[in-house]
Chain A
Amino acid sequence: MADDLNLLSNDEFRDRWRAWLTENYPEEWRVPIIHRLKGDEERRWHRMTYEAGWRAPAWPKEYGGLGLGLEKQLIMHEEMERHNCARVLDSGAILMAPVLMKYGTPEQRDRYLLPILRGDELWCQGYSEPNSGSDLASLRTSAVREGDDYVINGQKIWTTLAAYADRIFLLARTDKSVKKQAGISFLLADMDTPGLTVRPIMNLAGEDELCEIFLDNIRVPAENLVGELNQGWTVAKALLGDERIANGAPTLPRQSFEVLEELVEAVDLLADLGETDRCAQLFCDIEDLAALHSQVADAAIRGNINHAVLGLMKVLATDLFQDVSDELLRVAGEDAGLLEPVGVAGVKLDLRKIYMTARPATIYAGANEVQRNIVANMLMGPGAK
């Protein structure tokens, strides 16, 4: 793009992004809530935006990003919501790249950043383990230095879209003799490394996006260590900043509510007072979350927030997504039990998939119970063990 997007007014910027989406966004991807781009679809999306000058809005320009302020990044999110775009994980640009920018060596940046931008390489995040979910620091996958390599053994689980990824960034224990957070390192591996196997796990939405990864004596070169040895916990925490604000956006509840409104009208419940009160509650919940989200975003742009509010909004947004999906089932009556997508009173929708897509939202990105603990610690001081 010839000119600097940062110099555009917010309105001009919004118009330009909207026009580009309208012109270029593939129609078959416009299945909000349910569809998530994966594999070649995701590669194609990154490539499209890269070539058109829209890729990596949050990255600084020196790394090839757009260097946009938070305000314009949020405008991009809003317009994608408006356009009913599919969800995109983009672990490379959103999760991996910021770590490399902060802790990576120049060689690591040179090697990995451009392929992320171009959509040539997709990444996945290997944090959770079978016995380390919310208590992530208890992880047991080990990495032992042998010559110029680290030898990694262990198992990762709930790794989103691992089957489509080219590389993985993972946490492994490199020192068992110290406090659990102090003995963890941050390592990179190619997904085709011998000894690394991926097994997709079928989930309740009928998708195989989540995977198990078995690490059986896999060898990665020592240069794949990011940050200092045993500093992996600190490196991983670099991700817990403002970017988490997206987890508290009212996007999914709002899109689901639009489906609900259509359905309520189609089944002729607009005048039903019980239904009206339930819809009214959900509508107010969404609107007020939107008000909070935008005011927190404004404050974050000025650098003025307590980060605990991001966890609090994550809880609100994900609980609300579930509330709306629950209400959809109630309105659908017997049709709520249908396994396959069908038309309910002429409205085409996949109720089971919306319902099931809403389930894990309260678990991933920090289970809501853990988020409540974190906020409680901030507001009320430490709790009992």
Chain B
Amino acid sequence: MAARKWLPDMGWRVDDEMQQMLRDSANHYLGAAGGPAHFRQVRTQESGFDAAAWAQMGALGWTGILLPEAVGGSGMALEGALTLAEEMGRTVAPEPFIASAVIAATVLGASDTAAAATLASALAQGERSVTLAWQEQRSTIGIPRFETRLQGGRLRGVKRYVPNWHPACALLVAATDGAETVVLHVDPATAGVTARSARMTDASLSAEFEFDDVEIADDAVMLRGAAADAALTLAVARGTVALSAQLEGLASALWHRTLDYMRQRSQFGSNLSEFQALRHRMVDLYSQIELAGASWRRAAKVLEQGATDAALHTAKARSSQIAQDMGKWAIQYHGAFGYTDEADVGLYIHCGLRWSTWLGNAVAHRREALAAHRRERHGNG
């Protein structure tokens, strides 16, 4: 166990050896090639995706961190991926780490088909990114009943909010065959597939797919039935915890950036960091970041033990809320400069907008958490 050395913190966050190694690796790579400059460069690209950076992350072992060793991954527990997510949040990394290396990788890792192994291997190498199309409606938390249908080898339906899409991205689709859930690999170039994409505030593209009688080969089906349901649920749950970690990393970095600015900006003869009203607000924001850090760590532990309860929801709710709140006060305490595109805090705020609302926003997750608690209370009563 090593105390983390990136900032003078409250001491309770502790990395194991593997996490420390990953954090060092992340600090090293993202410190040199990531951060605001990289984000600015990626947001000018039409695809919202930097293939060279993704390949680098493949070489570092990040893209395959959750994939089995048999396909070239490192087969690690979730904790390692969460350390990376934290650091990516801290450096506003626009890479599809969560969509691809956490969510899609969890689905690929659960399948033993040749198609899955091929994609998994390409993902582990950083040659490709992969995304999972599961959502069909706005504000969906957890795996819904699918309307998208695979029948007689033809796929029909609409998928929305497909994250981190770009034309070279591989596409997995969750659907129903009328009796049970299926997960299939769909080539977006196939006749009948229409993609409409929209730019998100974190530089990525989110896509809506329409499948109009699309021909699907038998060997494209990777998972079905209970195995498909379990893999999808785990994938989205892991993605939700990872996103919570990433948001906490973002909020924490934004807090420190804001403090740095407050220390050098002087008004009325004092640095902003010396005014009590501002200091108390900063302490309260820091407290919320502490809660977020504790909350997603507990959620990760609960999830790795195979349980699902309110913890997942409290984590995403807390992280989403503090990322937005921290963003709001970061602008305020940077003054007019914080409102300019030139100030890097704006990049954090933009990423925070996307990440805090993807996979369920704070209000929705708070409701889910309370609902889980009330179900349990009733069960026990």
A interface with B by C-beta (< 8 Å): 261, 270, 276-277, 279-281, 283-285, 287-289, 291-292, 294-296, 298-300, 302, 304-306, 308-309, 312, 315-316, 369, 372-373, 375-376, 379-384
The verdict on A384 contacting B286 (CB below 8 Å), with A284-B366, A288-B318, A291-B291 known, is no
Closest to A311 in B: B283
Which stretch (B23-31, B106-114, B182-190, B268-276) binds chain A? B268-276
- Chain B residues with CB under 8 Å of A292's CB are 290-291, 293-295
Whole-angstrom CA separation of A308 from B9 in the bound complex: 10
Residues of chain B lying within 8 A (CB to CB) of residue A291: 291, 294-295, 297-298, 311, 314
Ranked 3 nearest A-B pairs via Cβ:
A299-B12, A292-B294, A280-B366
Q: Which of A281, A283, A298 has the most CB of B within 10 A?
A: A283
Q: Is the CB of B3 within 8 A of A283?
A: no
Contact (Cβ within 8 A) B283 A379: yes
Name the residue of chain A whose CB is nearest to the CB of B284.
A372
- A312 with B370, Cβ < 8 A, contacts A376-B283, A384-B275 known: no
Residue contact B370 to A280, C-beta cutoff 8 Å: yes
Q: Closest CB of chain A to B270's CB: distance in Å?
A: 5
Q: Is the CB of A305 within 8 A of B377?
A: no
Is there contact, CB below 8 Å, between B10 and A312?
yes
B274, closest chain A residue (CB)? A384
Let me know if A288 and B295 touch, CB within 8 A.
yes
Considering only residues 1-54 of chain B, those with a C-beta below 8 Å from chain A are: 1, 3, 8-12, 14
Closest to A374 in B: B283
**Chain B: CB-nearest residue to A287:** B314
Question: How many residues does chain B have at the interface if contact means C-beta atoms less than 8 Å apart?
Answer: 45
| In the complex, chain B residues 264-309 whose Cβ is within 8 Å of any chain A Cβ | 270, 273-276, 279-280, 282-284, 286-287, 290-295, 297-298
Whether B369 contacts A305 by the Cβ 8 Å rule is no
A308 CA / B367 CA spacing, docked (Å):
32
Q: List 26 A-B contacts (CB under 8 A).
A: A277-B367, A284-B317, A288-B318, A289-B291, A291-B295, A294-B298, A296-B10, A299-B11, A299-B12, A300-B12, A302-B14, A304-B3, A306-B11, A309-B10, A312-B10, A312-B286, A312-B290, A315-B283, A372-B283, A375-B286, A376-B276, A380-B282, A381-B273, A383-B274, A383-B279, A384-B276
Q: Which of A280, A302, A306, A315 contacts B9 (CB 8 A)?
A: A306
Across-interface contacts of B370 in A (CB, < 8 A): 276, 279-280, 283-284
Contacts of B8 in A (CB 8 A): 306, 379
8 Å CB contact of A384 from B14, B270, B291: B270
Q: Which has the most chain B C-beta neighbours within 10 Å: A284, A306, A375, A381? A: A284
Cβ of B49 to closest chain A Cβ, rounded Å: 34
Q: B-side interface residues toward A, CB under 8 Å?
A: 1, 3, 8-12, 14, 259, 262-263, 270, 273-276, 279-280, 282-284, 286-287, 290-295, 297-298, 310-311, 313-314, 317-318, 363, 366-367, 369-370, 373-374, 377
A177→B295 CA distance, assembly (Å): 50
Instruction: State the CA gap A296–B373 with chains docked (Å).
Output: 24
How many Å from the CB of B42 to the closest CB on chain A? 32
**Within the assembled complex, what's the spacing in Å between the Cα atoms of A24 and B162?**
59
Task: Evaluate contact between B369 and A312: CB separation under 8 angstroms.
Answer: no
Identity of the chain A residue whose Cβ is nearest the Cβ of B366 in the assembled complex = A280
Are B369 and A295 within 8 A (Cβ)? no
In the bound complex, do residue A305 and residue B10 qualify as a contact, i.e. CB atoms below 8 Å apart? yes
Closest CB in chain B relative to A113 CB, distance in Å: 32
* Sample of 7 more A-B contacts, CB < 8 Å, known A280-B367, A291-B311, A384-B275: A277-B366, A291-B295, A291-B314, A295-B297, A298-B12, A309-B10, A379-B282
User: In the complex the two chains form, what is the Cα distance from A380 to B283 in whole Å?
Assistant: 9
Residues of B within 8 A of A298 (CB): 12
Cα distance A216–B209 in the bound complex, in angstroms: 84
Interchain CA distance A306-B7 in the complex, whole Å: 13
Cβ-defined partner of A277 (8 Å) among B11, B14, B363, B373:
B363
Selected contact of A299 from candidates B14, B295, B366, CB within 8 Å? B14
